[in-house]
Amino acid sequence: MTTHSLAECRMLDGTIIKGWFYATEKPAPAIIMSHGFNCVKEMTLPEVAETFHSSGFNVFLYDARSVGEVMENHAICLIRCVLPRTCPVSSDIFTYVADPSTVDSRNIALWGMSFGAAVSACSAAVDRRPKAVVMVCPLFTYVQPHLADKAFALLIKDRISQLRGNEPYSLAPFTPRGDNPIGMGGAGGPGGVESYNLMTRASQLDHPDFRDQISLQTYQKLAMWRPMAYLDMMKAPVMMVIPEFDNISSPSEQQEAFDMIKSSKKLHWAKGSGHLSILTGEGSSEMILDTVRWLQEAFGVETS
């Protein structure tokens, strides 16, 4: 097992992002890893980070804004996924990661899973410094049309309530039936149940600072975000990993998104994999090694 050090980096607005930095012994490329919706860095990703590190890369694995250790205060904690501010945060993290002496600042990649993959893509669309982008089972669509009217009415009702001095309404991201007000993340089907089980396991495993609660207003921010509109703006090479049996993010929509990318790109079709088994199930080791080889080619270097 590789070792890491605790790291903190200050964002432009003063927010402190906390994460784990896996440093190499000599200057080498780096990978910035972003997790999925309402997850924390301790969920599955450390094993992947250790593989990247043992392959010769520096790695920064962090908790996204307002989750995990990045808790400024209770009010901000409840307003998860402040999307207009999330992608600029990725740029500030890039600046931080480029500074250590062990990092080859010319060769830094963004790696994201699910929601984190969409954030990484949007960041790279505007900030052209990343040398490469890896998108694993990216999640692009958040609102099911038949639920929109009722959900949006609830959002406005909550905003009015807050203006009258009441606390923001919060709820679990998924019910035991796998539902939520906007129908995101495979809600209403097997994917929603998978997501509920993931959140339940995270609570049972007592991951540090994990909270199975989000603000209702999170759904408004998701409804107003259109990450697919940024895909054709990326200039860096992109590798996308699509699980064949993804019940949380439609494989056909992921394929559609891949087709929209205009930069150099590689598709890894993960046969037999699902959204939540993509990093741990059968074929995951081969997929991660394929990612390592692709990154080495994108960086133009050989790592150990």
Q: Outline where 205-283 has alpha helix (H).
A: 218-223, 251-260
HSE of 80, CA atoms in CB hemisphere, 13 A: 25
pLDDT at 88: 66
Alpha-carbon dihedral angle through residues 117, 144, 278, 251, given to the nearest 10 degrees: -90
Q: Chunk the chain into consecutive blocks of 10 residues (it has 304) and report each block's average pLDDT, rounded to whole numbers.
A: 84 87 96 91 92 97 70 43 58 94 97 96 96 98 96 97 96 95 95 95 79 90 93 98 98 98 98 96 95 97 76
The pLDDT value given to residue 76: 42
Listed in sequence order, the DSSP H helices in the chain are 45-54, 74-78, 83-97, 115-126, 145-163, 190-204, 218-223, 251-260, 284-299
Distance in angstroms (rounded) separating the CA atoms of residues 38 and 17:
15
Count of CA atoms in the C-beta half-sphere (13 A) of 48: 29
Nearest to 226 by CA among 286, 146, 143: 143
- pLDDT at residue 3 in the model: 84
Nearest to 99 by CA among 204, 21, 19: 21
What pLDDT sits at residue 77?
Answer: 41
What DSSP character marks residue 168? P
Q: Domains in the chain, ordered, with CATH?
A: 5-142+226-299 (3.40.50.1820)
Amino acid found at 107: N
Q: Each residue of 153-202: pLDDT tens digit?
A: 999 999 999 999 999 999 999 999 999 999 999 999 999 999 999 999 88
> Given this model, what pLDDT does residue 78 score?
40
pLDDT at 197: 94
Say what the pTM is: 0.92
What pLDDT is recorded for position 1? Answer: 58
How many CB atoms sit inside 10 A of residue 145's CB? 7
Contacts of 109 (CB under 8 A, 6+ apart): 29, 30, 31, 32, 130, 131, 132, 133, 134, 295, 298, 299
DSSP β-bridge partners for residue 10: 16
Q: Could you report the per-residue pLDDT of 61-94, keeping only the tens digit for each?
A: 998 866 645 554 434 444 444 454 556 678 999 9
Q: CB–CB of 133/56 below 8 Å?
A: no
CB atoms within 10 A of CB 184: 27
